[in-house]
Amino acid sequence: MPDPQRPRAALRTAVVWEVLQDALERRVKATGRQSLDVLDTGGGSGNFAVPLALLGHRVTVVDPSPNALFALERRAAEAGVADRVRGVQGDAHGLFEVAERGGYDAVLCHGVLEYVDDPAEGVRNVVAALRPDGVLSLLAAGLGGAVLARALAGHFTEARQALDDPNGRWGAGDPVPRRFTAEQLTALVEGAGLRVGAVHGVRVFADLVPGVLVDTESGALDALLKLEAAAAEIPAFHSVATQLHVLGETEEAAGA
């Protein structure tokens, strides 16, 4: 559930939340358990973990940043869900030093693959944390969105560089080490043994629309949210999305 007090943030998370909550509701019905065990790798200060805990789930957040984990602890306490949120310092490479192998109904891997040395190994690790009937929520930077953004800003050489670069980087000053296409992400998920349940483009338009328009025009935010939701499932828009979301399911979860 996007934070109603943060309307701009809703543009960045609404599509992912809708897909994730639907997947978790299906797991609740299939397992008969109202409270699921969720692992949030790279979960930072709890943008997803705290709302998930508010839904009644138990969430373990693994993040390398002590500052982010401190903010997570404070945020969980303020929301009244400190008993359902646990933060531990670690990363995807050494995941099972701090998390349980095969112990989670759902794993979130959001904004992690861009930074790991071996994305395939990273996906295999988070998949190994799933129970036999688990689901994976994978969110990563999209190549096409970066190319489009650089081009619209007038940086045509950088746009071409991102297009040609194996990691989708537009230059030495690019803060993102790696970007992906939808095909690359689905191949990683399938290569780790999961079935791809859905692919969505995230922030197809949100990063291109002037903020002043969304903030001042009556009804603009709601209209843009609806447009994002409508475009998210259309494959043609995956190629220009700022981020890409893939829902992966184990065979048992897919058949439930």
Digit-coded pLDDT (tens) for 72-127 = 999 999 999 999 999 999 988 889 999 999 999 999 999 999 999 999 999 999 99
CA angle 235, 240, 245 (to 5 degrees): 60
- Greater confidence, 6 or 115? 115
| Confidence (pLDDT) at 2 | 42
| Confidence (pLDDT) at 210 | 79
Give the span between the Cα atoms of 105 and 158, in whole angstroms. 41
Where are the alpha helices (H) located in 165-210, listed in sequence order? 182-191
Question: Could you tell me if 244 and 202 are in contact, meaning their C-beta atoms sit under 8 angstroms apart?
Answer: yes
Give the span between the Cα atoms of 171 and 57, in whole angstroms. 41
| Confidence (pLDDT) at 172 | 94
Rounded mean pLDDT, 188-201: 96
- Res. 252 pLDDT band, cuts 50 70 90: confident
What's the mean per-residue pLDDT of the chain?
92
